[in-house]
Chains A and B, each alone.
Chain A
Amino acid sequence: MSEWNQSSVDEVPTMGSESQKADETLATGIVLPDGEIPGDDYDETLYEKPENQWLEMWRSLRANRAALVSLIFIILLVLVAVAGPYITPYNPIETEMSNALKPPSAEHWFGTDQLGMDIFSRVIAGTRVSLTVGLLAVSIALTTGIVLGAIAGYAGGWVDTIIMRVMDMMLAIPSILLAITLMAALGKGIDKAVIAIGLVSIPEYARIVRGNILSIKENDYIAAAHVVGLSDARIIFRHVLPNALSVIIVRATLGISSAILDTAALGFLGLGVQPPQPEWGDMLGRARGFIFQAPHTLLYPGMAITATVLAFNLLGDGLRDALDPRARIK
């Protein structure tokens, strides 16, 4: 999932299962295969006051027009998702067989599908499903991943080894395959899809946090904090995590776009929502039979997915550029 994340050269990806890079980088940009950053004993960003960092980010984001447009688009989508049932011109699950497969017209902007349901309404209603699943799945993955990664990184030893092995096991299976298999075992339904997609994304966030912690665990700043008497937990939450936060935010944004694509894939295969609930992927799956006599059934849900994913990708890209100290210098 989210190999999209690796497209910046700042983050030199290393191969193999031990390979995810933590995002604090050095001039050499090298990350050892088990996550340690060699020689990284000085992290300048820790000295910046948090407010400045966010302000910098906002300013840089604003300058990136594409990202800004995406942000606005996403806000719009969220509004649509929230407003959902109130703004659909027709009931998205009401069938009307005599009206089936009508092309776009004034009454039905996107046309109707094979059961006579209005596609425009279904696309709007589907926004809610896609965004909810995306956000929920990423939240699950995020919180679980952060906790696991923090424990692994900080505790070290066999706790670390066990947790990371489990992460490896999950990464050993391609995410869509694992998600589909989970769905086959758990049964169909959108709630199970959330769990499946969330689960398969956990290793990513665990890795980031663990890598972060590992890289600064040994450094003087932390040692000093120990001497002064700060508890471990405080150190983690006050100093280590905020650092990783910027990376996590970027990853999470891109993770949402992956989650939306995966949800659509599951829906397309018939493993997601149960009919007649609207979901973009499911709509595409059921439109497969009509690609010639009613291409509109295929067009709009697909465009909706692409546009949404595009927006999140652009935003994530913009955020990464904004939060990366080196990119700012460029």
Chain B
Amino acid sequence: MSINKETVKKISKLSRIASNEEFENSMIKDLNSILKFVEQLNELNTSNTEPLSSVVDQKLYQRDDVEKKINEKKDILQNSPVKNENYFVVPKIIE
């Protein structure tokens, strides 16, 4: 499986990273070399192996249903580059 320009464009879109000719070319090169590198995993037969998604061997911690107010609106909005008193502001979304 190898990556071509069309795939790079599609992945860029999915990742919301703007792409141009230069970026696409460098990505094609780099991503293909990484993919080639990881392809060696196919040497292993894992058809009977359970995938491992966590190394933690304990029960999922569950918290009580208690309302906690930890921060104020201004704390949450504080770091936003574009905001008003009440909301985060973003360029218009047209559905």
Q: Do these two chains really belong together in a complex?
A: no
